[in-house]
Amino acid sequence: MFEEYPKEIMSKDGTPILIRPLVKEDEQALTAFFSRIPEEERWFLRDNIADPDIMREWIGNLDFTRVLPLVAVKEDDNTIIANVRLHRRPSECLSHIAHLRIVVDPAFRNQRIGSWMLLDTVRLAMTMGIEKLVAEFVAGVEEAAVHAARKLDFYEEAVLKDYVKDRRGGYRDLIIMVKNIHREWSDF
C-alpha cells in the first residue's frame, strides 16, 4: 500500500516536500505541527491534540487498517507541514467509504500542499478500492480546503446548519463533501 512512498512534490514557492506515511517516531514533530495550528482551528479537530497523552495514544496505536495517516514534510529538515488521514470503518456495509481529514500548517497554505495531499489521498483511495471519499469542513474556518476539494471534484453533499460550536459559543455550519472515486485514472 505504501510502496510508492516517500513521494517528492514541490510547493508553489519551490520548497521540496516529501509525502510519506506517519511513523511512531514522528510524535514530537507532529505535536510541534499541531501547536502551529491556530487555536481557533484546533478547536474544531475531533481530538484535543494539544494534550500530550492523547497525542501519545493516537500515534502509539497506529492501525493502518482503520486510519491511514500521511504527512508532508520539508525535505531539508523533516518538519511536518501537513497531515491527512483516511479513516475507514471495518463494517462490511461501509468498507467502500473513507473519511478524509486534512490540516495544513498556516505558513504553507496557498502553496498547493493541501491540493497535492488531497490528490495523493485520492490515488491511495483508488488503490485501496475505496469508492467514496467523505470530507467535513467547518464553514468560515476551512474555506481554502473546501476550495481545494472542489478543484478535485468533491461536491457538496449536505450542509448541517449551526452544527458545530466555536469557542465563543457561536454556531457554524458543517459542510459535508463527497468525491466518487473512479477505478482508473482514465475514468476521469
CATH of the domain at 33: 3.40.630.30
Residue 81 is assigned to a structural domain of this protein: yes
Is position 174 within any domain? no
pLDDT per position as a tens digit, 133-183 = 999 999 988 888 888 889 889 999 999 999 999 888 999 999 999 999 976
Contact between 7 and 19 (Cβ < 8 Å): yes
CB 85 within 8 A of CB 118: no
- Evaluate whether residue 95 is within a structural domain: yes
Q: Tell whether the model's pLDDT for residue 3 goes beyond 90.
A: no
With respect to residue 103, please indicate whether it lies within any of the assigned structural domains: yes
Which triple of cell numbers denotes residue 181? Answer: 472515486
Tell me, yes or no, whether 177 lies in a domain. Answer: no
DSSP label at residue 182: P
Q: Does residue 39 contact residue 62 with C-beta atoms inside 8 Å?
A: no
Any residues with CB less than 8 A from the CB of 94 and at least 6 apart, and which?
none
Q: How far apart are CA 69 and CA 32, in angstroms?
A: 16
Q: H or E stretch including 136?
A: strand 132-138
Q: Which residues form the domain of 82?
A: 7-135
**Residues 46-91 pLDDT 10s:** 777 777 788 888 888 888 888 899 999 999 999 999 999 999 888 8
Amino acid letter for position 127: T
Mean pLDDT over each residue of the chain, to the nearest integer:
88
Round to whole Å and give the CA distance between 72 and 102.
Answer: 11
The answer to whether residue 35 sits within a structural domain is: yes
Asked whether residue 25 is domain-assigned, the answer is: yes
Residue 156 forms part of a structural domain: no
- Contact residues for 134 (Cβ-Cβ < 8 A; gap 6+): 97, 98, 99, 100, 157, 176, 177, 178
Q: Is the preceding omega at residue 6 within 30 degrees of 0, hence cis?
A: yes
Structural domain total, the chain:
1
